[in-house]
Chains A and B, each alone.
Chain A
Amino acid sequence: MSTKPLKILGIAVVVAALALGNVFFIVDETQTALVVQLGKPVGGVKGPGLHFKLPFVQNVITYDSRYLEYDATARELITRDKKNLKVDNYARWRISDPLTFYQTVRDEMGAQARLDDIIYSQVREQLGRYDLIDIVATSRPQIMADVTRRTAESARQFGIEVVDVRIKRADLPEANERAVYARMKAERTRQAHLYRSEGEEVARQVRSQADKEVAIILAEAYREAQGTRGEGDAAATRIYAQAFNRDREFYAFTRSLDVYSRAFKDKDVLVLSPEGELFQYLRAAGLPR
């Protein structure tokens, strides 16, 4: 019971002390801190929570303990096949050892500059071992893994842990870009020509096939038709021969008469001799001889 007012009093004192801000300090969950006495770190690394220090002679340096971004401007590099490539990297890193970090690079600015040097030289070295197309198409993960590993090794001495270096962009410089566009155009033109002539090819095949079939159909029809007509002619000839052979003389006679009656047209002029047998009765005036 009697401790409670004391507690309240204690809290009040804490408030007062914090207001002074010179003894207690708070390290956020996202930070680590070093207590520096006259430029020398003392008492190790402070994690999140409430800590205290000696007022005035000691001061606090806080570092971000999260994964931090590093994003350099894109740079042109040369690949193994002597092509230029505009590479834009980024990395994620962390201050893993604030003590070493403080002693070597001091602050984030310094760290970024160091990372810049390390990453650039690593990327340049690794990219120089591959051809451009490999960098773009197949070896990218390998390159990034190598660069990450080596960068991490080099950065460790600064209390920096590099978790990932990535090629964000790998593009061609403008001059090469134009060449690529020209090649793309040429490839497309080639393809377009191919498609069109394939169309022509198919069309001609189909048309000529159709023409051929039509010709064959008509020719076969002609053959069969002529055969059929021939059969008709043959049959008719046989029938006539059978019939007329029974009395050839009479056949010749009737056919001749048919021819006479068909041969002369209206108004044909016939010059007849009255001596003919036909006019015998005309001459004889109908009298029997």
Chain B
Amino acid sequence: MSWKEGGGGFGGGGGPRDPLEILEELKGRFQGRFSGAVPGGLVGIVILVALLVWAATGIYIVNPDEVGVVKRFGKYSRTTAPGPHWHVPYPVESVLTPKVTQVRRVEVGFRTVASGPPARFQRVPAEALMLTGDENIVSCEFIVQYRVRDAQQFLFRVRDPDGAVRAAAEASMREIVGRNLVDDVLTEQREKIQIESGDLLQNTLNIYEGGIQIDFVRLQDVYPPDQVIDSFRDVASAREDRERLRNEAEAYANDILPKSRGEAAERLNQALAYRATKVATAEGDAARFEALLKEYEQAKEVTRRRLYLDAMGDVLSKAKIVMADGKGGSGVLPVLPLDAFAPREVK
């Protein structure tokens, strides 16, 4: 518990009034009461000193992060702001100074063993494992952050408010997770679950009048239980496999399609080239023939003979010539050089 019976500690911010001043004032009051005279001599002084000491025990300081709650004979009497104050000392009044601005935290499903760095955590499976709405089991580790909203309620209405927060937090988280499907809990519904369980928790605590304000509920870690985590991971990798296969196939498509379009263009161009060549060749040949024909018609006989002889000259200059008498039975056999028969047969 973070509140103390009795006077506040040290290190609080200075208030408008110094305890010493209050003392002076008190002394003044007493002196006023006895009109400056000291009655009864020594006994009076002793009583006075005793009273002063007793009065001094009523001084307390409320730190900036606290409020002072004063009880008179055990009954709530007033709330005081940060700064130095005085209450009627024991046994009439007593004071509690709960830390109201302090952020409190409950860890469910795990405990921080060392805040580190590096922070080390200890899992608490009994708290973390819970059933989902489709009868699966997930492990949810979460924290609840809360603060004191109403110091009076916090101090006087609930015994063990922190324990109440923990119990109610577990109950609300389990209730909300129980309404969701396992896949949603593990993935996209986390935000919604946090908000819903926070609201449910706040409503529950309001019933208990604990004076507690929930800042937030945050899921730290949500994962499948150890027994099945491998199969969950396999699903994730299967999903990745699916993407990989798709990508590979698309890469293949992206590889062969443009290539084939290129090949198609190539074939078309070759065909166009062929057509152009064919046509041009034909036109060329035709033009040549027509030109020749024109001249031939001028001098048919001569041209024929010339062309024939040119061609024969061409042929005969390349070939080996063997003369043989065309008339059968002449008996003349030409002597042929052997190398004439080496490359090929004579026809």
Q: Which residues of A contact B (CB under 8 A)?
A: 4, 8, 15, 18, 26-31, 47-50, 64, 66-69, 71, 90, 92, 132-133, 136-138, 140-141, 163-164, 166-172, 177, 180-181, 183-185, 188-189, 191-196, 198-200, 202-207, 209-211, 213-214, 217-218, 220-222, 224-229, 231-233, 235-237, 239-240, 242-244, 246-247, 250-251, 253-254, 257-258, 260-261, 264-276, 278
**Most central of A240, A270, A274 by chain B CB within 10 Å:** A270
B282 lies within 8 A of A137 (CB):
no
* B17 contacts the other chain (CB 8 A): no
A236 to chain B, nearest CB (A): 4
A227 neighbours in B (Cβ, 8 Å): 271
How far apart are the CA atoms of A14 and B80 in the complex, in Å? 26
A136 lies within 8 A of B267 (CB):
no
Flag B322-347 by CB within 8 Å of A: 1 or 0 each: 11111100000000100011011010
Flag B130-144 by CB within 8 Å of A: 1 or 0 each: 111111110000000
How far apart are the CA atoms of A276 and B289 in the complex, in Å? 28
How far apart are the CA atoms of A202 and B155 in the complex, in Å? 65
B239 lies within 8 A of A195 (CB):
yes
A171 neighbours in B (Cβ, 8 Å): 129-131
Which of B164-193 touch A at CB < 8 Å? Answer: 164, 167-168, 170-171, 174-175, 178-179, 182
A264 lies within 8 A of B157 (CB):
no
7 contacts between A and B (CB under 8 A): A30-B159, A138-B179, A180-B136, A184-B228, A236-B281, A239-B283, A269-B346
B231 lies within 8 A of A270 (CB):
no
Question: Which residue of chain B has its CB nearest to the CB of A263?
Answer: B315
* B274 contacts the other chain (CB 8 A): yes
Of B20-28, B58-66, B214-222, B258-266, the one contacting chain A is B258-266
How far apart are the CA atoms of A193 and B237 in the complex, in Å? 11
**Given A163-B207, A172-B131, A267-B319, A278 and B231 contact (CB-CB distance below 8 Å):** no
Flag B207-230 by CB within 8 Å of A: 1 or 0 each: 111100000000000001101100
**Given A67-B209, A68-B159, A136 and B135 contact (CB-CB distance below 8 Å):** yes
**Given A213-B260, A274-B323, A164 and B286 contact (CB-CB distance below 8 Å):** no
Closest 4 CB pairs of A and B: A232-B275, A273-B326, A221-B264, A199-B242
Interface footprint category on B: 35 or more
How far apart are the CA atoms of A127 and B182 in the complex, in Å? 23
**Given A136-B178, A191-B235, A232 and B277 contact (CB-CB distance below 8 Å):** yes
Question: Which residue of chain B has its CB nearest to the CB of A181?
Answer: B227
Query: What does DSSP make chain A's interface, helix, strand, loop or mixed?
Result: helix
Of B6-14, B98-106, B116-124, B249-257, the one contacting chain A is B249-257
A226 to chain B, nearest CB (A): 7
A195 lies within 8 A of B235 (CB):
yes
**Given A66-B159, A269-B340, A202 and B320 contact (CB-CB distance below 8 Å):** no
- Besides A90-B171, A92-B158, A261-B314, 6 more A-B contacts (Cβ < 8 Å) are A48-B71, A69-B167, A198-B242, A203-B246, A260-B312, A269-B320
Contact of A92 among B75, B135, B208, B308 (CB under 8 A): B208
How far apart are the CA atoms of A49 and B160 in the complex, in Å? 22
B133 to chain A, nearest CB (A): 4
B168 neighbours in A (Cβ, 8 Å): 166
B131 lies within 8 A of A265 (CB):
no
B228 lies within 8 A of A67 (CB):
no
* B245 contacts the other chain (CB 8 A): yes
A15 neighbours in B (Cβ, 8 Å): 91
Contact of A253 among B175, B239, B307 (CB under 8 A): B307
A205 neighbours in B (Cβ, 8 Å): 249
Contact of B315 among A64, A211, A261 (CB under 8 A): A261
B316 neighbours in A (Cβ, 8 Å): 270
A221 lies within 8 A of B263 (CB):
yes
How far apart are the CA atoms of A163 and B209 in the complex, in Å? 11
B135 lies within 8 A of A193 (CB):
no
Contact of A244 among B132, B260, B281, B289 (CB under 8 A): B289
A225 lies within 8 A of B267 (CB):
yes
How far apart are the CA atoms of A274 and B330 in the complex, in Å? 13
A107 to chain B, nearest CB (A): 15
B322 lies within 8 A of A188 (CB):
no
* B311 contacts the other chain (CB 8 A): yes
A215 to chain B, nearest CB (A): 8
A264 lies within 8 A of B235 (CB):
no
B219 to chain A, nearest CB (A): 17
A31 neighbours in B (Cβ, 8 Å): 74
A220 neighbours in B (Cβ, 8 Å): 264
A188 lies within 8 A of B307 (CB):
no
**Given A246-B290, A274-B326, A136 and B133 contact (CB-CB distance below 8 Å):** yes
Contact of B76 among A29, A203, A276 (CB under 8 A): A29
A210 lies within 8 A of B234 (CB):
no
Question: Which residue of chain A has its CB nearest to the CB of B341?
Answer: A269
A30 to chain B, nearest CB (A): 5
Question: Which residue of chain A has its CB nearest to the CB of B33?
Answer: A4
* B244 contacts the other chain (CB 8 A): yes
A48 lies within 8 A of B75 (CB):
yes
Contact of A181 among B33, B160, B210, B225 (CB under 8 A): B225
A188 lies within 8 A of B289 (CB):
no
How far apart are the CA atoms of A229 and B228 in the complex, in Å? 68
